[in-house]
Amino acid sequence: MKTVRTILKTLFLCALLGFQGLGHTAQKPDIPLPAPPQLASPSYLLMDHHSGVELVAENADQRMEPASLTKMMTVYAVFSELNSGDLSMEEEIRVSERAWRAEGSRMFIEVDTRVTVRELLFGVIVQSGNDASIALAETIAGDEQTFAQLMNQYAERLGMTGTHYVNATGLPHPEHYTTARDTARLARALIRDFPELYKLFAEKTYTYNDITQHNRNALLWRDPSVDGLKTGHTESAGYCLTTSAKREDMRLIAVVMGAESEDARADQNQALLNYGFRFFETHRLYAAGEALTQAEVWKGAADTVGLGLTRDLFVTIPQRRYDDLEASMSVDKMIVAPVQQGQRYGDVTVTLEGSTVATAPLVAVSAVEEGNLWQRLVDEALLLFQ
């Protein structure tokens, strides 16, 4: 038994050493990484969707008025209701007088008429309708104020620590604010949590009540890789825009807040996206649920357990630097059964020239039950020599 343990340890150490280095022959980038674009807007951010790496950030935690970027959270709440089955696309909603009287941008629903959730969603996403936003808020929570509490609960759950909502529309209020970083997190959550429903953000036009309106996201018309998300504007907030674009397997999210004009917010978003796609690349290194190594288990029904990741591990790095990545693992020295699936027993770290670019917990990909009496007694004896 002791010999078997020794062999297993040797194999484990070999696996650990063999884990170093992801590439083949080191290759330096052909093009030096230039400085990011300097934009005129007071707050902006560029993030990779899959890895969450921020490629450009300027005053990303500065408190800003979101204007109609608020409706991204309104839509997130509606998508959550649809996903849970508490709401359906074809459910008809009666339009209240308060929704009908909404100030600002509208989809022109009429009081006491019945409109489907699907129609209202298009009214919010494409036409940025405040009337549609209020109608959906009242349906889900009874009134807009209670719905705002629900929005704040979602914001807290998503880690949006610099955000507070008081309405579903984005109309100005001293206690209604967000940040560029929180807005990017929300965009990332919309794409990640509702991949099918997210496709609604790519709609360029929508007609309701014989009135056709165009999506205010100019990049949907300019850049075929852009498929969302939302514009916003009030006199006090300036011009805001959150976009997402996918080119090949890489998806980026850009946020610009407080721009001076519609053209400025579109041009600045485009500059961020072009910079990210031109000079960076994203790779999925390891898939969730796959065993990256086998760790020794004591007193268990099995002698080893596979350790892997709970989520796919992505890295975003400067272009042509993939072969320079190195990965290493740290694994707990003593793993004693019972082992629960998903229990953490170490970490995997990916570095580039000594700097950490990604880290993730190593967890048991399967459970290991406690061994029988004989297995436990033998391992207990062997542990005396450890």
Residue type at 311?
Answer: R
- State the catalytic residues: 68, 71, 128
Handedness of CA 307, 309, 312, 313 (dihedral sign): negative
Omega cis (within 30) before 219:
no
How many helices and strands (H and E) does the chain possess? 10, 16
Query: Which residues does residue 282 pair with via DSSP β-bridges, in sequence order?
Result: 316
pLDDT per residue as tens digits for the range 307-356 = 999 999 999 999 999 999 999 999 998 898 899 999 999 999 999 999 99
Regions in the chain scoring below 70 on pLDDT: 1-31, 375-376, 378-379, 381, 383, 386
The enclosing H or E element of 369 equals none
Residue type at 337?
Answer: A
| Domain edges within the chain | 2-27+285-383, 43-259
Residue with tokens 């209240």: 96
Cβ atoms 324, 20 nearer than 8 A: no
Average pLDDT, the chain: 90
Give 43-259's CATH code, choosing from 3.20.20.70, 3.30.830.10, 3.10.50.40, 3.40.710.10: 3.40.710.10
pLDDT per residue as tens digits for the range 128-139 = 999 999 999 999
Give 2-27+285-383's CATH code, choosing from 2.60.410.10, 3.20.20.70, 1.10.510.10, 2.60.40.3080: 2.60.410.10
What's the pLDDT at 265? 97
What's the pLDDT at 4? 40
What's the pLDDT at 33? 86
Cβ atoms 283, 314 nearer than 8 A: yes
